[in-house]
Structure 1
């Protein structure tokens, strides 16, 4: 952690060196002395310090400087470091200006040049100012910082990406003091959000996920061109395959388009997973699995989108969106599923601005004291309802069926029944949404009476259905009409092998219509949509990978 700074600025080189020398002699063991020869140079230094999250204790500026005098400089510096103590260096003839500056920039002190001996004329003044600053100084801010607007979809996307990838950050509103100061330091405006400031002071204006990943320590480039096993998708099935593949000596790379954990990683609480009697959050489970895979030597690539799978003879090649490729002997497809979008009028343009798909954990504290609407009747929706009930005034669970018994685990139904602030609305669907800057109103329809009603709402979280992320596969592997990957027995029904299959054996149980390419978890046709079964299929796929490799 860098020491707090004392910044001096004077356009006279001799005076500048002298004041820096005297300050460094007394305070150099506790403070970093930053010297500038012009107001503009000093402001540039302050902007860099601000972006790096460092502190400035005292600003010492000469009054007579070209382009920008000391008072003007201190006024500009206040926008970046309002808590820093301010000192003006003046000649005797400028004392009136210094006295007037007390009202203009809230000047703490002015020093007459020369200040010798410093033991009598400089150090007592600085001792007093530093003591006052230390009494009110905030802790240095070296976290990743995100500046944005409350109802900005791009701002939410950045926060959600960081949160789901377990990257700690501090959220600042662009129209609040600290957010405005960071925007000014980065040379950006409120229209340029989201602004991301990294721990080392790098400012990223409206970054892409790939750019963001590269600057927060996530790996985006494979270390090799060829692997034994490529796993596409870092949900429970993909993480399971990566752990077992790497632990058994396979050169393994795990590729994730957005964030590790998939839908399970968004779950606030998983209570029916083996080995966790008190439950575990999706983020905790994901983090443990990720660290386990890395410990065994698997590579994890983040924010990389795979757009094609190709048969390259004895190898299988995956093509990324940027045109680069990676190849392997075998592939495990574990891309999971995504929540279906609500087609109700008015909601598409409000996505990320009050309408969210999945459990947006970063938004829960913002719902404090307000009503939250959740659409869905399966476990994910139930877990979200329980989680949001800790913050919201009331949670409205909207389900299309008559009750929850058909699609939700009984332990979760019982838990919801014990929470007074959760209200279940059976046979109810969202048929419309409206709002200017953000969601303000929902239109609900009761399927029993066919009556509609409007409710005030700022928060809508959707957990409906499951759509596989397989469009990128095209005709590379066989899929069912809904897009789920067909494997094993589903490919050989009626005694026929899949078209193009040239091996003398039938496809293995989790093997797709392309030999050496396996599917595991929710993306596989007729799979059991549970975290434990997905992890099991990921492990099982690796055992079949070994069998495939041994036969080559």
Structure 2
């Protein structure tokens, strides 16, 4: 078999796909099988925790609902190896498993999914909202819920472009952990995602270097998680430090750490770099249709220049929840709560417009 024919996907022992595209995979597993309609009650753009929660609530309450996502279900949460502070899962649950369960639940209630289905525009026509798709079609909706989340920020240092894909990662899942088992690794970031990654990798790697730009690990990280990181014998915390360079030819061998207080540099052995330094909102497709804050997050509620509904944008009938919303708490449980509560406001809008 030629290298360009890999990876190979065998589905139910019958169908074989060689080096399939995301679209071909989605068609195979039925994620692009949403039925067509003249107009949907609700189009949910984004299949992360907020969007999936909204889909479950909307579909279970009788709204015709379709969910779009440019890549896959789960959003950023799907890359988390273990979420331990989510209600009802005392032993924790991976973000991917949580998303899979939500997908099954939403489909049980009749929600449709179109993945990959990338939204490229939002505009109004004849009292409806039109969501333009990369494939060239439009979805017509009475209401739209924006839950597009964020995308990862990359580390712009010498060597990162050369080693990205081989030794630089933006998620710490079982797959990445297996690649660097028994070797020292480095995690960059001070938030919950970085803390979860450090703890997860410490169960597999002998040394996990956690690099943060400040002194207080609890500043941006949940206290329980910061305590766990600090108590782990395999995690070494490099405070007030940053990565200045990646060294290695075909694979990463060392990172150069720069002390922001003293200016000193140190070379640290590592075979993999996990970059978890925050994210930027996915809002370019909205252009001037809704109000954004100075960082590009969607403004909702009274501050959006529209009506007073907490999750409604300045555009009547368009709502936003989760990480993409300005002022939201960037947590899985919070996004799920927002997605669920927002459906009450969608109902109120549809009733006021005489569409229910």
Which consecutive residues of structure 2, in runs of 5 or more, have no partner in the other structure? Answer: none
* Structure 1 segment 63-462 matched on structure 2, within 5 A: 183=1, 189-200=2-13, 202-215=15-28, 217-225=29-37, 226-462=39-275
The structural deviation recorded for 1:321 is: 1.0
The structural deviation recorded for 1:293 is: 1.0
Q: Residues 439 and 459 of structure 1 are in contact (CA less than 8 Å); yes or no, is this contact kept in structure 2?
A: yes
Q: Deviations over 1:388-430 (max 9, x none)?
A: 1111121111111113010111111222233211111111111
- Equivalent of 2:277, from 457, 460, 464? 464
Which TM-score applies when normalising by structure 1? 0.61
SS of alignment partner, residue 522 of structure 1? helix
Q: Distance in 1 between matches of 2:326 and 2:245?
A: 32
Q: Residues 27 and 33 of structure 2 are in contact (CA less than 8 Å); yes or no, is this contact kept in structure 1?
A: no
* Structure 1 segment 489-528 matched on structure 2, within 5 A: 489-492=302-305, 506-528=307-329
When you count helix as a share of all residues, which structure comes out higher? 1
Q: Distance in 2 between matches of 1:460 and 1:490?
A: 40
Q: Distance in 2 between matches of 1:281 and 1:342?
A: 25
Alignment RMSD? 1.8
Q: Residues 33 and 112 of structure 2 are in contact (CA less than 8 Å); yes or no, is this contact kept in structure 1?
A: no
- Equivalent of 2:344, from 525, 543, 552? 543
Q: Distance in 1 between matches of 2:192 and 2:34?
A: 35
Q: Distance in 1 between matches of 2:251 and 2:14?
A: 32
When residues 272 and 305 of structure 1 are mapped into structure 2, their CA distance, relative to the original with a 3 A threshold, is: same
Is 1:530 aligned to 2:331, yes or no?
yes
Q: Distance in 1 between matches of 2:122 and 2:342?
A: 18
Equivalenced residues, count = 352
Q: Residues 41 and 65 of structure 2 are in contact (CA less than 8 Å); yes or no, is this contact kept in structure 1?
A: yes
Q: Residues 229 and 331 of structure 1 are in contact (CA less than 8 Å); yes or no, is this contact kept in structure 2?
A: yes
Q: Distance in 1 between matches of 2:249 and 2:117?
A: 34
Q: Distance in 2 between matches of 1:523 and 1:373?
A: 28
SS of alignment partner, residue 387 of structure 1? helix
Q: Deviations over 1:69-118 (max 9, x none)?
A: xxxxxxxxxxxxxxxxxxxxxxxxxxxxxxxxxxxxxxxxxxxxxxxxxx
Q: Distance in 2 between matches of 1:310 and 1:234?
A: 21
- Which one scores higher on RCO, CA 8 angstroms, separation ≥ 6? 2
Structure of higher CA gyration radius: 1
SS of alignment partner, residue 478 of structure 1? coil
